[in-house]
Amino acid sequence: MKERGIIFNSEMVRAILDGRKTQTRRIMNNQPCTLSGETISVLQDDFNFRWAGDLHNDTSGWFPCPLGNVGDRIWVRETFALLGNEDGVCVDWNDNILKAGEEQAAIIYKASCEKKDGDYGLWSIPDDADWKPHTDNRKYEGAWRPSIHMPRWASRITLEITDVRVERLNDISRSDAIAEGAPPSHPTIDAISRECGFPDFPRSWFGQTWWHIYGKKNWQDNPWVWVIEFKRI
């Protein structure tokens, strides 16, 4: 069993915590070079994949999923902060100064905090959470650390891979879009989605979320993607 880190934004972290997100898609580094009218099929050997009949570039080898195979684990990198005193020295939840390093510092996660009306930019830290002791009406004013800089010891979410496959991005189904974290559908929203070229709201939500991260052109290019299914442990 191996462990690898993976970045999720705050919206996706909340979806994982709510139990709504059990899949993620990542663009494959190896893309087949297709000719006009050519159909590319996929061969699978365990959890390694290759393009059948693709002789136009150097992608004829077998490709393992960079995030791992079934049974491997991925730990979530998310936007976070370590609490500190006025001098910027890390403190624990009792405001004790830590001299031995950051690993014992009080950690907060942006996805679980919120800005409330009248707080003028302060972030409210939840009173009760499984990643911290109980506190009453605690606020945070400071800079957040980008998810890419999160060390393993600061991560609060570990996922186990339950399935790996490859598919074209636009082939995502309604049920898979929901597994990607799409919020509940609604008949009126579905009608608007169909006008925008999507058969239903979950796929519309996923498409727009993908556009926001990778750009609309990437969606239109319809690349091959890794589909990683997981469960939280």
Examine the domain organization and report whether 65 and 86 are in the same domain. no
E strand map for 40-181: 41-45, 48-52, 63-64, 73-77, 80-82, 107-109, 123-125, 138-140, 158-168
Examine the domain organization and report whether 10 and 66 are in the same domain. yes
State yes or no: pLDDT of 182 exceeds 80: yes
> What distance in Å separates the CA atoms of residue 104 and residue 63, rounded to the nearest whole number?
40
Contacts of 92 (CB under 8 A, 6+ apart): 98, 104, 105, 106
Tell me what pLDDT residue 101 has. 78
Query: pTM here?
Result: 0.85
Q: What is the dihedral of CA 203, 206, 207, 213, to 10 degrees?
A: 180
Boundary (domain end) residue, out of 94, 112, 147? 147
Q: Tell me the sheet residues that pair with 111.
A: none
pLDDT tens digits, one per residue of 96-130? 998 777 888 999 999 999 999 888 889 999 999 99
- For 25, the domain range is 3-76+157-232
State yes or no: pLDDT of 202 exceeds 80: yes
Examine the domain organization and report whether 61 and 89 are in the same domain. no
Contact indicator for 232, 14 with CB cutoff of 8 Å: no
Helix (H, G, I), strand (E, B) or coil at 22: coil
Count of domains observed in the chain: 2
Structural domain contains residue 22: yes
Examine the domain organization and report whether 9 and 72 are in the same domain. yes
Examine the domain organization and report whether 110 and 7 are in the same domain. no
State yes or no: pLDDT of 171 exceeds 60: yes
Structural domain contains residue 152: no
State yes or no: pLDDT of 79 exceeds 60: yes
> What distance in Å separates the CA atoms of residue 139 and residue 119, rounded to the nearest whole number?
9
